[in-house]
Chain A
């Protein structure tokens, strides 16, 4: 499901073996002839399927509505039109789009910080310490991790409503911070990539349990922190259902939900749209702004990410 980025990415797990002992590449068969030409055609066709919509979205933001309908769909409009779209978009309900972006950043970043503070120590303890209930906690984590996070949205509303927190920032930030997949990632990392002798040596030197974590394990856990942070941020930034249900006021919405409001004001999609009509290129620009942070992370973290996913795939 596209709405479940964390679920979607659950197979990622760092693994030392993939870093220190890269497997030799399998020998590739040289081939030519009609079958490989067909393969190439299929691969290129799917590449177009995956990329043309993104390209179209980027270009659409630079056009006027008239150009959008009559021009070549994959042509560049003009910088002028882009500026005009931005002016119109930021004029929508007094800069509310900027406010939505700010809200998204606030919710995702707060949740990111809490998630890291909670998930990394929990994963460490599950992997490297023994305590009562450890196995139960691990199994519960695995089960909750596989369940889509939208299952609990309506019940969460009932709970948060009962304690009178509906509409507060924490009503979305705290559920966002509950991230069992992050705990699982940290657990895998610590149980495969951290030499236990190192911890034992630190204990012999008189380090406290917290000291071992703080001074030995944590400095070595940068890859786990980065991976957990990435999936937490992307998952929360793109979450729609939870804030949609929990936040009643327009000025509290994150951009994902705000886009829905904009969409409902585009006359071509909703004939009942009122006087505050939004033009389609402005909607495209808003969508582009909404994905910009995630897209930038994807582009710059590409090598790291793919390496992480591959490591996940090598898990026995």
Chain B
């Protein structure tokens, strides 16, 4: 009992985790194994090596979809980091506590509109006919919804939507992390003559690093999975965005439009691999989760 744990009753522990392990196997392990099996076989269940992966990679939509996701990530990750950190630092300097609390809450509210609703709201926001920001859209030279959702704008638009729904939660976290920095440290920096900018640059941001990395990891893993935004837009864009914009859409299309589950599984396995590698590296390297 040195560690305070109960050493002997192994069975009790197993009893408590059994239902969870059953779900983990049924909806984590088995689908993974199933996807791998499908990815390496053909419709007749014979082993075909990498040919499904080659078929996916040679599909004319694959490279474009990878490109779309990559450009989206290039827009999304830096803007998330820069804006969330900058806004959290700015918020942290607000001296009126109630104002700071109210602002954090307002930033956080769109989180309730995650998923379909957030995209829907932004379809309206981007339509010059009804948008409250129509004057801005007109100032940029956009007069119709079709012009706003032109294909080359999509990565930016998806970034805006993702930022709108997700950034507030991260700001609350960063704000909390900033609150947790010892006041003595900030005081010392101030005595050494550091202004707000240098304090942030040399004291606060390095101490936020762990959280920034965590945010980037989750945003990256989530970003590769882009689905609901382009899918809804493809239903509502006067045909501008295709149904095969992102990799997840492509996998869906292979499975349900082309009736080719093996190629669909190959794309899924690739996405899974990206997710697994990123998550595994993070858990192993960061010591963020002190597993005990």
List the interface of chain A (C-beta within 8 A of B).
1-5, 7-11, 23-31, 35-36, 39, 42-43, 46-47, 49-54, 56-57, 60, 68-69, 73-74, 117-119, 121-122, 124-126, 128-132, 134-135, 137-148, 150-159, 162, 174-175, 177-178, 180, 183-184, 191, 196, 200, 203, 209-210, 213, 234, 238-241, 244-245, 256-257, 259-260, 263-264, 266, 268-271, 280, 283-284, 287, 290-291, 294-295, 297-298, 302, 306, 309-314, 316
Inter-chain contacts of A306 with B (CB < 8 A): 101, 104-105, 108, 172
Contact B9 A129 (CB under 8 A): yes
The smallest beta-carbon distance between B234 and chain A, in angstroms, is 10
CA distance A270 to B127 in the complex (A): 13
Stretch at the interface among B43-51, B58-66, B212-220: B212-220
A-B contact pairs, 30 of them (CB 8 A): A2-B161, A2-B166, A5-B114, A8-B114, A11-B214, A29-B95, A36-B93, A39-B93, A131-B14, A132-B10, A152-B268, A152-B272, A153-B248, A154-B264, A158-B255, A174-B26, A177-B23, A178-B26, A200-B4, A210-B15, A245-B256, A260-B231, A268-B129, A295-B112, A298-B112, A306-B101, A310-B176, A313-B174, A313-B176, A313-B177
Decide: A131 and B109 in contact? CB cutoff 8 A: no
Are the CB atoms of A210 and B19 closer together than 8 Å? no
Q: Give the shortest distance, in Å, between A293 (CB) and chain B (any CB).
A: 9
**Chain A proximity of B159: nearest CB distance (Å):** 11
Known A73-B132, A240-B116, A298-B112; judge A121-B16 contact (CB<8 A): yes
Smallest CB separation, B292 vs chain A (Å): 8
Cα of A314 to Cα of B207 in the assembled complex, Å: 12
Chain A contact residues: over half helix, strand or loop, or mixed? helix
- CB neighbours (8 Å) of B26 from chain A are 174, 178
CB B259 to nearest CB in A, in angstroms, measures 12
User: What is the total number of residues of chain B having a CB less than 8 Å from a CB of chain A?
Assistant: 131
In the complex, A196 Cα to B236 Cα: how many Å?
Answer: 56
Q: In whole Å, how far is B215's beta carbon from the nearest beta carbon of chain A?
A: 8
Which residues of B from 160 to 183 have beta carbons under 8 Å from A? Answer: 161-162, 164-166, 168-169, 172-177, 179-181, 183
